[in-house]
Amino acid sequence: MASETKRKVVDCFGKEYSSLKAMCEAYHISYGTYCKRRYRGKTFEEALTVPVKKYSPSIIVSGYKFVLPCGLNAEVISVKGKSALIRAEDGKEWRSNKSNIIKGETGHPDLRRNRKSTFMGFETQFSASINNKAFYECRCLKCGAYEVFTPQQMIEHAREHNIQVTSQ
């Protein structure tokens, strides 16, 4: 591949460059990114012109608000190094990697998609995701009701039973 980077190349718009690396620099992408894109089947033009995704954990600061994949609102309480302390609208706090927050991969520790769990006085199991809303099959441990709820509906039901819910 070294010889490939030394010969003159022409981009998709007809501009000539001294090497493939020089062309990549002009398009603000690394040579490695260009090669990976081509290997994965991107066209010559796509490999050069699609902007590089940047996940910047630096924007995660105390007070940063976001929505968890389960649909609950959450807020960053404090930041230390690469991790952040998160509080969801049900009052639950836990630590998560800042880059996972940016990518939308931080989940509530009591609401699992792959196994049964307990949340706000419910036995829950993930049921479906429709229009970016997560639904769980639930059985209320207080009254025995069996329903399909979103996490917000579980919180409302818990309030009806006077189960303490801490809001942000």
pLDDT tens, 107-135? 888 887 777 888 888 899 887 877 777 88
User: Which neighbouring-strand residues pair with 118?
Assistant: 123
* More confident site: 103 or 95: 95
Is pTM beyond 0.75? Reply is no
Concatenated DSSP letters for the chain?
-HHHHHS-EE-TTS-EESSHHHHHHHTT--HHHHHHHHHTT--HHHHHHSPPP---GGG--TT-EEE-TTS-EEEEEEEETTEEEEEETTS-EEEEEHHHHHHT----TT--SSS-EEETTEEEEEEEEETTEEEEEEEETTT--EEEE-HHHHHHHHHHTT------
Q: What is the pLDDT of residue 3?
A: 45
> Where do the domains of the chain lie?
2-49, 57-103, 117-160
Q: How far apart are CA 16 and CA 22, in angstroms?
A: 10
Q: Each residue of 54-80: pLDDT tens digit?
A: 655 557 788 888 888 888 899 999 988
Res. 5 pLDDT band, cuts 50 70 90:
low
Asked if pLDDT for residue 86 goes beyond 80, the answer is yes
